[in-house]
Chain A
Amino acid sequence: MSTTTPYVSTTNACKLCTPLGACMAFKGIEGAVPFLHGSQGCATYMRRYIISHFREPVDIASSALGEKHAVYGGGPNLKKGILNVMQKYGAKLVGVATTCLTETIGDDVPMIVEEFRKEFGDLDLPEIVSVSTPSFAGTHMEGFHAAVRAVAEQLAGESVPHHGGLNLFPGMVSPADTRHLRDICDDHGLAACILPDVSETLDGPALLDYERIPSGGTPLADIKAMPGAAASIEFGHSLPGRRTAGTFLKKTHGVPCFQLPLPIGLRGSDAFFAALGEISGKEPHPRHERDRGRLVDAFVDGHKYIFGKRAVVYGEEDLVAGLVEFLSEIGVHVVLAATGSEKTGLPSSIRKTCDELGLKMPEVREGADFHEIAELAEQLEPDLVVGHSKGYRSARKWNVPLVRVGFPIHDRFGGQRLRILGYQGAQELFDRIVNAVLEKNQSDSPVGYGYL
């Protein structure tokens, strides 16, 4: 075991704050405007952050609290803000997430929302979903899952007829991956309610008009009908044992819930396809079988270039767990897996992967920042870094390639179009990893190769 001295300060965080995750979840719902109950700065910073990844308009409203609200409570501004959003944006859903400020002053948002509904009951009110997201008690991933659960809890209908569809909670995945997941479900004849569905809202077309709220997103009617589904699938290693949208629907409405890892890599995708087969009772379209075959073929073609390469992986817990599985499958030796979140179950899920494939356990760190990641990695001498843009400085320092995956990707183009899920996503990721290694070999070589 490598050692680092424990310290209290955080340097270059490997996480973001809780309400950002909630905003990302709300962004994937039809007609939704995310709304932060707090001071203006938080909303603006998050917008800026999300915009530079997706290059799409990201309107996040704020109750824009000032000093006097901090003292006397933010209720009046929250109500006024919801009213403004509803009248100007024509929001069908306002997703209210708290910030550190309003959590600390103790605003009771569900109560304020109730008052709001009573006060303005004569108007055509949007759905209002509220979620508590203090950043001092979690990361953006917690905020994301909490918002998805809040949407399910607060919107799912009471007596919904059985419709045999599928509820799919994909986690924080790219628009391109979301589109791919929908295609896969379609190919199984399953009408999927994907929540959230950012495929269009965070990756939209050029338009004639500025859309106040981008089209697309999970239809509200589908969300209300979730209790009538044949089953739910939710992705994420960190989910088992937690209160999630899927477990809520199971407990309250008896919808069977499959908790699966993110389908990254061969076995992760196999598990997803198996679940879909079980739920639909149908064989997948033969094209997926062929995709799978091509992927294995590529594994064989590329194995030698990457076997034994030492990789550092970081990011959100669910993503990291999935990436470790995939890298382990293809013979890349993960030497460090790190996330900024705490108590995520990451160590045990990685242990499971290692046991199954007969591999040595890598260093695993929860609650890590980039100072710790860099300190550890320096002893571990990686050949490859896999994670979002924020590892660029370290990768550059070590002169090793960075394969960009996840959020945020601020220093490359097209982050929203990256696919890593399913056989096709695995194929794209595999190609990128092999090519990153080849490119490095090529540029390090004194002669330069024409053939590799």
Chain B
Amino acid sequence: MTTSIFEERKDQIHRTGQGPFELACNRDSLAGAVSQRACVFCGSRVVLYPIADALHLVHGPIGCAAYTWDIRGALSSGPELHRLSFSTDLREKDVIFGGEPKLTAALDELIDRHQPKAAFVYSTCIVGLIGDDLKAVCKSMSEKKGIPVLPVQSEGFKGNKREGYLAACKAMFELVGTKDDPEIPPVSVNIFGDFNLAGEIWIIREYLERMGVSVIANVTGDGRVDDIRRCHGAALNLVQCSGATLDLAKMMEEKYGIPYLRVSYLGVEDMAQALYDVADHFADKDPDIVARTGALVREELANLLPELKKLRADLEGKRAAIYVGGAFKAFSLIKAFRHLGMRVCIVGSQTGTREDYEELAAITDPGTIIVDDANPLELSAFIKEKDVDVFVGGVKERPIAFKLGVGFCDHNHERKIALEGFVGMLNFAREIHASAMSPVWRFVPRRAKALCNAPKEAGA
């Protein structure tokens, strides 16, 4: 029996407490290892796609656009242009002679047809190779149509998702500051790094409104081009998630002097902390805000905690595994599981940084497996080793868990249940409860075997 760990990947796996922390990360994926990672294009697409009144044109062969057609749960309260999948669908002729004429024609007709507020043009691997001058095409289209047409340099092979985040931020930065709005109030924020999956941004906005904070732009869930153009007028950027929009916040800090706060809306403490941090930030402008925020949190917790307690009674002592795109989310999930009385024994991400993993090593129990850029063989081996009850991950991880008879909770961009905010914590707890407590696990081979063996072991 061969082991499940590739020799080359040994240093991308760490066990908390076993030796000093050392973990290699941000490496290229290993050939043949069936990484769960996507590409640069994927990173850009994730970030920009929720801008609902923009045209998102994928310049490349059909697959890249087809596979990303409306796969996310990013909801819009108005326009839904983002849910369509536009592609230049490059053919042999375009590959040989260049795809610029086709791109120009495609933009021309799509902008006329949909009248978007802006257009994002994503380059894919092949475009990088054939050398189409995306910038030039976009520039002349901008002039012709009178809307911003923005190139997104997201050739898939030029790195992993993180590079895609940067490409997306660069494209958005072109928009920021192109429209002034003198009406913006002094206690105001932009919400960065939330994609409004299952309407989550609406939950957060509601909290902020109750606190008396105006939200200027959603970047990017339920996003609008005009909001992004004027968002440099806000007083503060709230940046969620480790990578996606942090670069944009930094660029805005540098150019417009807007400070940013890093927050997470997942779990009880992090959600409350996010609101308190915002309140503290504005305390000198609005002295009552701290008290209002305290009241809000208390009110929400009064509803939430009794419900959580009921679920916790069942879940106490169960084991969880986490494998997500960005490591930042994992921090919140670990805390959320503690609220449910559960122990996290495996935690990993596709694109964590050294600092992320160090922090994971610091907050997890001894023996917890920490892994960077895992693959199905490793994940399945870890699940078995730790005998987990619930796995939190994305669609590609689901069948791994299910095959092994382990509960699963979808926590990626495709989710349809809101998991942010206090209400999201309750949804999360309910989903974990439903995932772990179903009677079906009694019948899967993993448990069925345990049941058969039990009397024998007891007798022995």
What residues make up the interface of A, taking CB atoms closer than 8 Å to B? 7-13, 15-17, 19-20, 35, 38-49, 51-52, 55-67, 69-70, 77-78, 80-85, 87-90, 99-101, 104-105, 134-137, 139, 204, 206-212, 390
Contact = CB atoms under 8 A, between A and B. Distances in A.
Contacts of A56: 399, 403
Given A8-B105, A44-B35, A82-B32, A104 B129 contact: yes
B31 A81 contact: yes
Contacts of B125: 38-39, 41-42, 70, 99-101
A7 B109 contact: yes
A41 B398 contact: no
A59 B38 contact: no
Contacts of A390: 69
A136 B90 contact: yes
B2 A90 contact: yes
Contacts of B444: 206
Interface in B74-131: 84-92, 94-95, 102, 105-106, 109-110, 125-126, 128-130
A57 B66 contact: no
Given A66-B157, A101-B157, A207-B404, A42 B31 contact: no
A57 B24 CA distance: 27
Given A55-B402, A59-B376, A208 B91 contact: no
Contacts of B39: 39-42, 44
Interface centre among A80, A90, A104 (most CB of B within 10 A): A104
A443 B431 CA distance: 32
B90 A81 contact: no
B29 interface: yes
11 contacts: A11-B85, A13-B89, A41-B41, A51-B395, A66-B159, A82-B32, A84-B30, A88-B377, A100-B90, A100-B126, A208-B449
Contacts of B94: 136
Interface of B: 2, 4, 6, 28-42, 57, 60-69, 71, 84-92, 94-95, 102, 105-106, 109-110, 125-126, 128-130, 156-160, 376-377, 380-381, 383-384, 394-396, 398-400, 402-405, 444-446, 449
Given A7-B109, A45-B63, A48-B396, A61 B33 contact: yes
B109 A134 contact: no
Given A8-B106, A38-B125, A41-B39, A66 B445 contact: no
Contacts of B405: 206, 208
Contacts of A212: 377
A295 to B, nearest CB: 35
A47 B34 CA distance: 10
Nearest to A39: B157
Contacts of B32: 35, 61-64, 80-85, 88
Contacts of A210: 376-377, 380-381, 383-384, 400, 403-404
Contacts of B399: 51, 55-58
B87 A52 contact: no
Contacts of B90: 100, 136
Contacts of B86: 9-11
B260 to A, nearest CB: 29
Interface centre among B41, B130, B396 (most CB of A within 10 A): B396
Contacts of B130: 104
A47 B67 CA distance: 10
B382 to A, nearest CB: 11
A136 B61 contact: yes
Contacts of A83: 32
B395 A52 contact: yes
B80 to A, nearest CB: 10
Contacts of B92: 134, 136-137
A9 B28 contact: no
B445 A88 contact: no
A69 B129 CA distance: 12
Contacts of A42: 39, 63-64, 125, 156
A64 B62 contact: no
A60 B376 CA distance: 10
A168 to B, nearest CB: 28
The 3 tightest CB contacts between A and B, nearest first, are A41-B39, A17-B63, A84-B32
B67 A46 contact: yes
A44 B2 contact: no
A99 B129 CA distance: 13
A57 B61 contact: no
Nearest to B445: A208
A39 B29 CA distance: 10
